């Protein structure tokens, strides 16, 4: 059942009790989020059913097409900053032609998935938490449960599939835009021709870089959806509770993305 | 055998005991109205019937099924016997009115979409909402949203319908329309209704029995005619607060 009774605890006797309770509640929250993810994965077999298909496509549109504007600007400037920072240093050694490699490898391995995930967590993740949180506090989720309609199947699973599919696609787009942004800076600020930049960029990027980067973005998509849906469903106490759920979604998503990004890099490259 | 049965149900919410060993029996085909002051546990009682809340102690039975211990498919089967009108209607805001009403038909039957929407429009027309079918809930008044919620609650022809404040926020004419609909469902289809309300006039008009909940216990249960003659102080307070006196003013109001 998604609809839960509000938690109530007696005030703790001392700060240690308060700290211990916070840890236990966070562990319980993590466990519930993983159970929610597990249920959504099991229900993913219904993704092509009549009503879920439409909802999943709509969520793909919201995640993908509606985020393109901000992703274009962020991707472009990420590439431009990377090119400018590395290019200025490399020019001291007469190696500015290598900015193609520096920009492309940084983007494909790390910055592309990371920047895309941050944008999607802040825009789509927070929106999911706010929507589900509002549904909880206005009894809409309870109404679905009374009608024996599974909210996980109707709301969580389509968003999970949409984010897991769209995140790698958006990451490829961020990478391409970032590399183009780097090329523009190289050409206009550092005197590196487009041809030299792209030759250099392609020469040193391995397939593994691309696969690992896309795997990261796939994992980040799942993380964002799981955190947002769990926090939304855990919302209580009206508008204040929805605001808190949204804030926690962004914070927890950012932290999890950072930690998992490091762990995936370490697993594949060390 | 009774259709709904509460056995010594206790529930504490937010550190405050809301239900204290509540016993209640509702028979099939009844319209049972639950009265009580705000915060007395009326909505909490209703939520126990569909396991939106679980008792801390005691059991809730729906026929031969113990809903307070049911899980998974069994709980789903029990819940299918119910329609539930929430206090704030609880309509899905991103769906149109007709899509909201058709939702249970589309999710729980094999009905085609066009057929389900046509059925939804038919139900809406009964409640005078045929012009609102294509609108979104946010475009409707609170009273209209409540009527849409009612249309959704009855669209699957449930055996039991739970109404949480069905007439609050509605004008008197619409309130009486809702009363007539509840009465019609009982007489025509034998639907069992449990109504939580503050509207005593409505309660006296539709109830087969009225129960009063106070401090988590049922303190009085009686058919309407006996209810207005009750000597219980809580009942007296209710009657006087709504200008219904024991001397028979209610009968005079009804007959005029």
Query: What digits encode the pLDDT tens for the residues A21-65?
Result: 889 999 999 999 999 999 999 999 999 887 789 999 999 999 999
Q: Is A168 contained in some domain?
A: yes
pLDDT at B247: 55
Contact status of A25 with chain B (Cβ, < 8 Å): no
B72 interfaces chain A, CB cutoff of 8 Å:
no
Q: What is the DSSP letter of A237?
A: S
Q: Which residues of chain A have pLDDT under 50?
A: none
pLDDT at B1 exceeding the cut of 70 = no
Is residue A2 situated within a structural domain? no
Q: Is residue A90 part of a domain?
A: yes
Say what the pLDDT of residue B126 is. Answer: 85
- Looking at residues B140-145, what average pLDDT do you find? 86
* CA A156 – CA A145 distance, rounded (Å): 14
Would an 8 Å CB–CB cutoff place A1 in contact with chain B?
Answer: yes
How many structural domains is chain A composed of?
A: 1
Most confident of A230-244, A254-268, B121-135, B159-173: A254-268
Contacts of A46 in chain B (CB under 8 A): none
b or e along A221-252 (b: 16 or more beta carbons within 10 Å of the residue's beta carbon)? bbbbbbbbbbbbbbbbeeeebbebbbebbbeb
pLDDT band at B227 (very low <50, low <70, confident <90, very high): confident
Nearest CB among B79, B88, B104 relative to A139 is that of: B88
Is residue A8 domain-resident? Answer: no
Taking contacts as CB-CB distances below 8 angstroms, the residues of chain A near B90 are 138-140, 142-143
Which pLDDT belongs to residue B38?
A: 83
A11 touches chain B (CB under 8 A): no
Domain range enclosing A55: 19-269
Which candidate, B53, B42, B50, B52, places its Cα nearest to that of B13?
B53
pTM (predicted TM-score): 0.88
Residue A73 falls inside a structural domain: yes
Identify the pLDDT of residue A155: 95
Q: Kindly list the domain boundaries of chain B, sorted by start residue.
A: 94-157
């Amino acid at each position: 059942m998604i609809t839960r009774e509000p938690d109530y605890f007696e005030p703790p006797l001392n700060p240690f009790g308060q700290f211990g309770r916070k840890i236990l509640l966070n562990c319980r929250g993590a466990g519930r989020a993983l159970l929610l993810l597990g249920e959504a994965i099991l229900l993913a077999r219904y993704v092509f059913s009549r009503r879920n298909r439409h909802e999943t496509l709509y969520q793909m549109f919201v995640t993908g097409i509606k985020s393109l504007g901000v992703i274009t600007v962020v991707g472009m400037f990420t590439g431009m900053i990377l090119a400018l920072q590395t290019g200025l240093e490399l020019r001291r050694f007469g190696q500015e032609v290598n900015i193609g490699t520096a920009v492309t490898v940084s983007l494909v391995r790390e910055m592309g998935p990371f920047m895309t995930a941050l944008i999607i967590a802040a825009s789509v993740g927070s929106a999911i938490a706010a929507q589900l949180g509002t549904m909880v506090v206005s009894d809409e989720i309870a109404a679905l449960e009374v009608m024996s309609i599974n909210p996980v199947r109707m709301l969580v699973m389509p968003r999970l599939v949409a984010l897991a599919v769209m995140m790698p696609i958006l990451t490829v787009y961020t990478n391409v835009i970032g590399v183009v942004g780097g090329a523009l800076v190289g050409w206009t600020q550092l005197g590196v021709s487009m041809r030299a930049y792209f030759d250099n960029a392609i020469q040193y990027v391995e397939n593994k870089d691309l696969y690992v980067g896309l795997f990261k973005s796939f994992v980040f998509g799942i993380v964002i959806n799981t955190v947002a849906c769990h926090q939304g469903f855990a919302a209580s106490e009206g508008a204040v509770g929805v605001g808190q759920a949204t804030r926690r979604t962004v914070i927890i998503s950012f932290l999890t993305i950072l930690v998992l990004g490091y762990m995936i890099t370490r697993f594949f490259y060390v | 055998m009774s259709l709904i049965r509460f056995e010594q149900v206790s529930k504490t919410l937010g550190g405050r005991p809301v239900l204290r060993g509540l016993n209640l029996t509702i028979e099939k085909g009844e319209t049972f109205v639950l009265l009580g002051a705000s915060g007395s546990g009326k909505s909490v009682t209703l939520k126990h019937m569909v396991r939106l809340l679980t008792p801390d102690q005691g059991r809730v039975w729906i026929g031969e099924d113990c809903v307070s211990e049911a899980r998974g498919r069994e709980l789903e089967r029990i819940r299918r016997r119910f329609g539930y009108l929430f206090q704030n209607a609880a309509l899905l805001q991103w769906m149109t009115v007709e899509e909201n009403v058709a939702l249970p038909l589309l999710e729980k039957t094999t009905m085609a979409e066009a057929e389900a929407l046509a059925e939804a429009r038919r139900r809406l027309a009964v409640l005078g909402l045929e012009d609102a079918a294509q609108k979104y809930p946010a475009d409707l008044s609170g009273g209209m949203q409540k009527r849409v919620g009612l249309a959704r609650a009855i669209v699957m022809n449930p055996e039991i319908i739970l109404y949480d404040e069905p007439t609050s926020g509605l004008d008197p004419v619409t309130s009486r329309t809702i009363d007539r609909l509840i009465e019609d469902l009982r007489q025509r289809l034998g639907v069992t209704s449990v109504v939580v309300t503050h509207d005593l006039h409505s309660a006296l008009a539709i109830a087969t029995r009225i129960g009063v909940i106070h401090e988590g216990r049922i303190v009085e249960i009686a058919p309407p005619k006996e209810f207005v003659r009750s000597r219980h102080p809580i009942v007296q307070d209710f009657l006087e607060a709504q200008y219904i006196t024991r001397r028979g003013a209610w009968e005079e109001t009804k007959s005029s």
